[in-house]
Amino acid sequence: MANPKYEFIQGNLACAKGAAYAGCKFFGGYPITPSTEIAEFMSEYQPQHGGKFIQMEDEIASIGSIIGASLTGAKAMTATSGPGFSLMQELLGYACIAEVPIVVVDVMRGGPSTGLPTSPAQSDLLQAKWGTHGDHPTITIVPNSVEEMFTETVRAFNLAEFFRTPVIILGDEIIGHMREKIRIPEPGELEVINRSLPNNDGVCKNPYASDLNKPVCLPNFGKSRIHVTGLNHDDTGFPTMDPMIVARENERISSKIYHQRNMIDKFEAVQCEDAKVLFLAVGSAARAAEEAVSVLRGKGVKAGLFRPITLWPFPKEEFAKYAANADYIVVPEMNLGQLKTVAERFTKRTKIVPINLVNGEPLGPDTILSAVNHLNI
């Protein structure tokens, strides 16, 4: 590679640049700390590259606008934080059932309610999975570095376009605002997936026809004159109450994702093979946990870190494999035990040690190490 390009930038900017790399042509957003840098970049970038930026009147309108834009064929994104993410929940479900690709970035902050707007937290791990009503698929990615804010945003668009479903990126105030040096990938270096269209976007009379466990191949608005609705619908896209069809489709919008986990699963296992003290952590808490692993290994403790990069669907088989060999599962997180509930589901015998911080301060290695020092290891 001739002249690799390096930049010293913050996570939010890396996320926005990753979106641009992936071909994002429409951004609709509403200002909210600590995510606004993403919108600010987009307001400058889009008009200079033939794309569109709009500041909507609230977060509900923001996600509505990107669903509309996506239906015309544009890759579309919004960015927000906890309170705005709460407002977006209804239309997240709309994008799930209508199978519209969108990317939603939630740079997490303290909560509930207005909480701590400028402080880090990991308050939305479960909201990302269960926030909208009804059974629905969820793909959620949690980057833990500025570089991943770039590369994982590209992957988020790929998954959204391929599976025709919303993909959520959970940043947090630390990952969003800290600066690191990253190499900007060359065009073509990272895979960029574009949505499939029927017969080169030809006329399609059954736009929602699909194979079992597969995404639909919906044409964009244009000569197919499709009907899109948030009601349960049949192959034609029109409402139906036929129990057979409703059941099949409700199951398919989830099974299309859960049957192709190999495309979605992504995790990092740091010294997990022989780990007796296994950390389960994501995002900025995982950085602290990785440091704790290194310190503990220096003391001869067999410690390891399991870090889901795709948090939902949770990489349960891989986690369970390492968890079965461990004496302790330590779950450091900046909430009161959201990831811990996951650890509990996939480990039967191992003792689970929660480390929770909800005071708005970063969860550092010292806090983790002092908690671990109390264990009988």
Residues that bind other proteins (CB under 8 A): 25-26, 28, 47-52, 54, 56-58, 60-74, 76, 90-91, 94, 221-231, 238-239
Output the smallest distance, CB 368 to other proteins, in A.
42
- C-alpha 120 chain-centroid distance: 17
- Of 154 and 372, which has the nearer Cβ to other proteins? 154
Residue count of the chain: 377
Q: Is 80 left (phi over 0), alpha (psi -120 to 50) or beta?
A: beta
What CA–CA distance (Å, rounded) separates 181 from 161? Answer: 29
CB of 226 to other proteins, least distance (A): 6
Greatest CA separation for the chain: 68
Smaller CB distance to other proteins: residue 115 or 230? 230
In angstroms, what is the minimal distance from the CB of 46 to other proteins?
A: 9
Q: Which is nearer to other proteins, 31 or 222 (CB)?
A: 222
Amino acid identity for residue 363 in this structure? L
Query: Of 94, 99, 56, 93, which is closest to residue 78 (Cα–Cα)?
Result: 56
Cβ closer to other proteins: 62 or 284?
62
Closest distance to other proteins from the beta carbon of 347 (Å): 39
DSSP output for 91-123: HHHHHHHHT--EEEEEEEEE-STT-EEEEE--T
Burial 297-319 (b: 16+ CB within 10 A, else e): beeebbbbbbbbbbbbbbbeebb
CB nearer to other proteins: pick between 23 and 364: 23
- The minimum distance between CB 282 and other proteins, in angstroms, equals 30
How far is residue 169's CA from residue 149's CA, in Å, rounded to a whole number?
A: 9
Considering the complex, what minimum distance in angstroms separates the CB of residue 80 from other proteins? 14
Strand 310-312 and strand 139-141: the pairing is: antiparallel
**Which of 111, 119, 174, 123 lies closest to 144, judged by CA?**
174
H-helix or E-strand spanning residue 48: helix 36-48
The first and second tokens of residue 246, run together, are 């409703």
Cis peptide bond upstream of 47, omega within 30: no
Least distance (Å) between residue 28 CB and other proteins: 6
Q: Which residues contact 111 (CB under 8 A, 6 or more apart)?
A: 82, 83, 121, 123, 124
Q: Least distance (Å) from other proteins to the CB of residue 230?
A: 6
Tokens coding 27: 């951004």
Give the HSE-up count for residue 154: Cα atoms under 13 Å, Cβ half-sphere.
20
Cβ closest to other proteins, residue 132 vs residue 367? 132
Which residue, 66 or 116, is less far from other proteins as judged by CB?
66
Nearest-approach distance from CB 16 to other proteins, in angstroms: 17
**Rounded to the nearest whole angstrom, what is the least distance from the CB of residue 78 to other proteins in the complex?**
10
* Residue 331 token pair: 């779950």
